Amino acid sequence: MLRIRLTRVGKKRQPSYRVVVTEITAKRDGRIVERIGHYNPLTDPAQYLIQEDRALYWLSVGAQPSDAVERLLVKQGTRDRLKRLHAGESLEALVAEYEGVDLAAVAAVVEAVEIAEIITEEE
């Protein structure tokens, strides 16, 4: 079984953490499957970044987050997007929403480029 949890890095009394996917039986700083983010509790406010697409992927295939990572995922909004992913929304749309990309604008640009390519081919 897989778990999404924190692994400690940094010097004494200056902890920093990586958000990793690992086997549930692995040691805290042991073998990992994939690194998907980081968390620095020493800054004010605490800095954290978890790759939305990878977190959604691992959660959708059954990885269980630790309590600390669960709190980070709730703050980031990933848990709500996971529910919407299970309801049928596309992963690309959810990641674009997280990154602040307007999919309608991207689709319009892609369509314009395709039309331009068709016109140049005809000439």
> What is the pLDDT, as a whole number, of residue 109?
67
pLDDT at 106 over 70: no
> What is the pLDDT, as a whole number, of residue 39?
95
Which residues neighbour 13 within 8 Å (Cβ) at sequence distance 6 or greater?
none
Q: What is residue 41's DSSP assignment?
A: T
3-state secondary structure of 36: strand
| DSSP sequence for 64-82 | EEPHHHHHHHHHHTHHHHH
Q: What is the pTM of this model?
A: 0.76
pLDDT at 61 over 80: yes
| In contact, 50 and 67? CB cutoff 8 Å | no
| In contact, 68 and 7? CB cutoff 8 Å | no
Domain that holds residue 43: 2-122
Backbone dihedral angles phi then psi of residue 92, each to the nearest 5 degrees = -60, -40
Count structural domains, the chain.
1
> What is the pLDDT, as a whole number, of residue 98?
80
> What is the pLDDT, as a whole number, of residue 97?
80
pLDDT at 110 over 70: no
2-31 pLDDT, tens digit each: 999 999 999 999 999 999 999 999 988 889
64: domain CATH number is 3.30.1320.10
> What is the pLDDT, as a whole number, of residue 102?
64
